[in-house]
Amino acid sequence: MFAVIMAGGVGTRFWPHSREKKPKQFLRIFDQRTLIQQTYDRLLPVIPNERIYFVLNTNQKAELLRQIPQAEEENIIIEPFGKNTAPCIGLAALHIQRQDPEAIMVVLPADHLIRNIATFQKVLRVGEKFLQQQDYLVTIGVTPDRPATGYGYIQFSEPIAEIDGIPIYRVKTFAEKPTLDTAQRFLRSGDFVWNSGMFIWKAKIILEEIEEFLPEFYDGLMEIENHIGQPTYWEVVETVYRQIRSISIDYGVMEKSRRVCVIKSDLGWSDVGSWDEVHKLVDKDKNGNGIVGEALVKDSRECLIFSTDKFIAALGVENLIITESEDAILVCHKDQAQNVRELVELLKRKKLKNLI
């Protein structure tokens, strides 16, 4: 089995820590290891280093090699610019299929958190076994523990197989991020799981599905394939990427394909979408304050304090995110955590280049 770590994200919601050259996946948020290092670490017992691929853009390569020096040069696939997950996955499948026409590949974001690592590894092994016999597109679904409105959902129907005691279900529908009402209904129904954005399939099968549902992009991929290993390769990739539209694999393929199934799992998973999510995930004191680094809170509640080199004191405040990076400090109401990206837009408009 091969792995493809999608590491090209350029999320800005973790400003001031996330920057253009150092997006979320390269940050140390919950651990001494960064999110991408953790992603790599938990694959290693299942997939050897030489079969772990990374897809990212030119800007991010140096940081990747700093954080994962073992990454093999020929396993680093560069995109000229991000066009969402479908192109990223198609390009990786192309390269992997050349290594092994029957290759099974797991695709996963570099910037998610998984706390139940053994469960995750078992899911990979189950998926691999299943795909040695079948040509399905397997999605990894996460059993929801709350009516989250920030995630997409997958509705499953009957089991189509069981491997090592783990059932694999046929997928009925994909649902976009729901309203709270809808999310509550999903949770009650019992047949919805969160879409983790992690998939397992044979490289050749996802390419077949891309051919069917994204034929123009497939033509581009074939054009790229003709130039692999040639001096013209990069120019062709750039031309193809300029022409294709930005589209997710979920919307482009998964929602349309008739051979999608799901493994339900309890991964302790989060996409760590914004600072308020970090507040949910860290340990908290009896007043709901979560502290990372050196800090002191007094008469304060429901705050996340994230210090790096300076000591942070909070006095008489609530529902704040207080976070400090090497060169900047953010104080943000928890309800506004989603709007940090707009703050970064504002910094861009003000041409504060050092800060973005």
Smallest distance, Å, CB 244 to a copy of itself?
35
Look at phi and psi of residue 339 and say left if phi exceeds 0, alpha if psi is from -120 to 50, else beta: alpha
Looking at 61, 182, 343, 348, which residue binds a copy of itself (CB under 8 A)?
Answer: 343
Smallest distance, Å, CB 336 to a copy of itself?
3
For position 350 contacting a copy of itself by CB under 8 A, the verdict is yes
For position 291 contacting a copy of itself by CB under 8 A, the verdict is no
Is the Cβ of residue 189 or residue 287 nearer to a copy of itself in the bound state? 287
Smallest distance, Å, CB 339 to a copy of itself?
6
C-beta neighbour count of 262 within 10 angstroms:
27
132 alpha carbon, distance to own chain's centre: 25
Sheet holding 290-292, edge to edge: 290-292, 304-306, 320-324
For position 228 contacting a copy of itself by CB under 8 A, the verdict is no
The contact mask relative to a copy of itself for 300-339 (x = CB under 8 A, - = no) is -------x--xxxxxxxx--x-x-x--xxxxxxx-xx--x
Nearest to 198 by CA among 115, 131, 105: 105
Of 254-283, binders to a copy of itself (CB under 8 A) are none
Is the Cβ of residue 165 or residue 316 nearer to a copy of itself in the bound state? 316
> Taking a C-beta distance cutoff of 8 angstroms, is the pair 61, 72 a contact?
no
Is the Cβ of residue 228 or residue 346 nearer to a copy of itself in the bound state? 346
Smallest distance, Å, CB 275 to a copy of itself?
10
For position 298 contacting a copy of itself by CB under 8 A, the verdict is yes
Q: Residue 173 and residue 177: Cα distance in Å, rounded? A: 13
For position 18 contacting a copy of itself by CB under 8 A, the verdict is no
Is the Cβ of residue 158 or residue 335 nearer to a copy of itself in the bound state? 335
Is the Cβ of residue 146 or residue 349 nearer to a copy of itself in the bound state? 349
Smallest distance, Å, CB 318 to a copy of itself?
9
Residue 236 to residues 94, 99, 227, 243, 252, Cα–Cα distance (Å): 14, 21, 7, 11, 22
> Taking a C-beta distance cutoff of 8 angstroms, is the pair 261, 139 a contact?
yes
Is the Cβ of residue 75 or residue 307 nearer to a copy of itself in the bound state? 307
For position 247 contacting a copy of itself by CB under 8 A, the verdict is no
Is the Cβ of residue 249 or residue 312 nearer to a copy of itself in the bound state? 312
Is the Cβ of residue 133 or residue 354 nearer to a copy of itself in the bound state? 354
User: Quick check: bond before 69 cis, omega within 30?
Assistant: no
Smallest distance, Å, CB 185 to a copy of itself?
30
Number of residues that bind a copy of itself (CB under 8 A): 35
Q: Which residues of 332-343 are buried (b: 16+ CB within 10 A; e: fewer)?
A: bebebbeebbeb
Sign of the alpha-carbon dihedral angle for 107, 111, 116, 117? positive
Q: Residue 218 and residue 65: Cα distance in Å, rounded? A: 30
Measure the N-to-C terminal CA separation of the chain; round to a whole number of Å. 37
Looking at 62, 180, 222, 346, which residue binds a copy of itself (CB under 8 A)?
Answer: 346
Q: Provide the greatest CA pair distance for the chain.
A: 65
Is the Cβ of residue 129 or residue 348 nearer to a copy of itself in the bound state? 348
Is the Cβ of residue 118 or residue 315 nearer to a copy of itself in the bound state? 315
Looking at 299, 302, 306, 351, which residue binds a copy of itself (CB under 8 A)?
Answer: 299
- Classify residue 55 as exposed, middle or buried by CB count within 10 Å of its CB (0-12, 13-18, 19+): buried
> Taking a C-beta distance cutoff of 8 angstroms, is the pair 147, 188 a contact?
no
Look at phi and psi of residue 190 and say left if phi exceeds 0, alpha if psi is from -120 to 50, else beta: left
Using CB under 8 A, list all residues that contact a copy of itself: 15-16, 296, 298-299, 307, 310-317, 320, 322, 324, 327-333, 335-336, 339-340, 342-343, 346-347, 350, 352, 355
